[in-house]
Amino acid sequence: MIKFLDLKAINGQYQSEIEEQLLKVFRSGWYILGDELRSFQNNLSAFTGVKHAVGVANGLDALRLIFKAYIQSGVMQEADEVIVPANTFIASVLAISDNRLTPVFVEPDIETYNIDISKIEEKISSRTKAILLVHLYGRVVFSDELTALAKKYNLKIIEDNAQAIGAVWQGTKTGALGDVAAFSFYPGKNLGALGDAGAITTHDEQLASRVQAIANYGSSEKYIHDVMGVNSRLDEIQAAVLNVKMKYLDSENDKRRIVAGFYINEIRNKKIILPQMPQNMDEHVWHLFVVRCEHRNDLQAYLEKNGIQTLIHYPVPPHLQKAYPGYNHLQLGITEKIHREVLSLPISSVLKIEEMQKIVDVINTY
């Protein structure tokens, strides 16, 4: 069976280096808020090209704490609206509603699967305070038009960069494009820890220290609590693992580009819609390789029968989830079509050429 994602093999590439660092943390006797975290925050801000990076417990918390910080500083208040793509993982939406803000869904572009920037302005109201961009599947979404819109209506641009670490738009990395960005280092992400981990990046020093304080019980000075915070810290073990894997992130992303290029060149089947290659290769880090097919479930079963594991990202869009009964009536046709038709093929740095070839051959005979 060709696995969808072989995490053991991916991390196995760096096994001796990771084990050495794990042992170092174990023997240091210091497990929270230490040197590994500080060095990871420096590595991440240098990599992204921003002034500040703050490690937190996971990607959802990174997003939640960004909104919490904006609320505490008076930039947003309860019931304000946040523009969000209808086609995203539920975490993007949860972060908004968890802060008693209102998500306003915008349909995606069927070519890129990212938010359709031309449909944002019609959804902006006097309560709109931010646009939450999601660089879905690893592909950048950004434009000068978007920056102009944010300026015109005085909106914050927040990036959900959980899937696109390393992607670049016109010389700037995702995570440095807007006012602030959230990262996830969930094991399956392009930069994955050995458990949960996340971070925020920003040029805004005040915002960074606010998030840092909220993530540590609302405290910047031990046992002094200026705001009501939470416990959402990135521990030393995970930071140490990320410090090792960060060095190989660009080469991991390049290998994903090779797999994506191979699929796009070799898959020839009229029943399969391939993802569009961006004009600029560095705009996509291929967190997922997502094809569309009218008979998606049938295609998935066929691949399974032929020893190829695939996944669906995602089978049900946020507005149709039971968690959001208030939005179930919305009709978002493009989003719903995408969720009915998408299928993610295996893509990773350890996929072998024979495996890629087999996947292509099986799909071409479907």
Q: Does 335 bind ligand PLP (CB under 6 A)?
A: no
Cα–Cα distance, 142 to 115 (Å, whole number): 9
Q: Does 178 bind ligand PLP (CB under 6 A)?
A: no
Q: Are the C-beta atoms of residues 276 and 126 closer than 8 Å to each other?
A: no
Cα–Cα distance, 285 to 138 (Å, whole number): 5
Q: Which of 99, 184, 212, 335 binds ligand PLP (CB under 6 A)?
A: 184
SS3 content of the chain, % helix, strand, coil (to 5): 40, 15, 40
Helical H segments across 176-330, by residue range: 205-215, 236-246, 249-266, 296-305
Q: Does 169 bind ligand PLP (CB under 6 A)?
A: no
Q: Strands 128-134 and 81-85: what pairing? A: parallel
Q: Among residues 67 and 89, whose Cβ is nearest to ligand PLP?
A: 89
Residue nearest ligand PLP by beta-carbon distance: 59
Q: Does 92 bind ligand PLP (CB under 6 A)?
A: yes
What single-letter DSSP state applies at residue 352?
-
Q: Among residues 61 and 236, whose Cβ is nearest to ligand PLP?
A: 61
Would you state the structure tokens that stand for residue 266, as one six-digit string?
């070799």
Number of chain positions touching ligand PLP (CB under 6 A) = 15
Q: Are the C-beta atoms of residues 56 and 234 closer than 8 Å to each other?
A: yes
Q: Does 163 bind ligand PLP (CB under 6 A)?
A: yes
Q: Does 87 bind ligand PLP (CB under 6 A)?
A: no
Number of Cβ within 10 Å of residue 36's Cβ equals 25
Q: Among residues 163 and 349, whose Cβ is nearest to ligand PLP?
A: 163
Q: In whole angstroms, how close is the CB of 203 to ligand PLP at the nearest point?
A: 21
Q: Does 89 bind ligand PLP (CB under 6 A)?
A: yes
Q: Which of 116, 160, 179, 336 binds ligand PLP (CB under 6 A)?
A: 160
Q: Which of 48, 58, 190, 238 binds ligand PLP (CB under 6 A)?
A: 58
Residue partners of 78: CB distance under 8 A and separation at least 6: 71, 100, 101
Q: Among residues 183 and 363, whose Cβ is nearest to ligand PLP?
A: 183
Residue partners of 331: CB distance under 8 A and separation at least 6: none
Name the site residues for ligand PLP (rule: CB under 6 A).
Answer: 58-60, 88-89, 91-92, 134, 160, 162-163, 184, 186, 196, 198
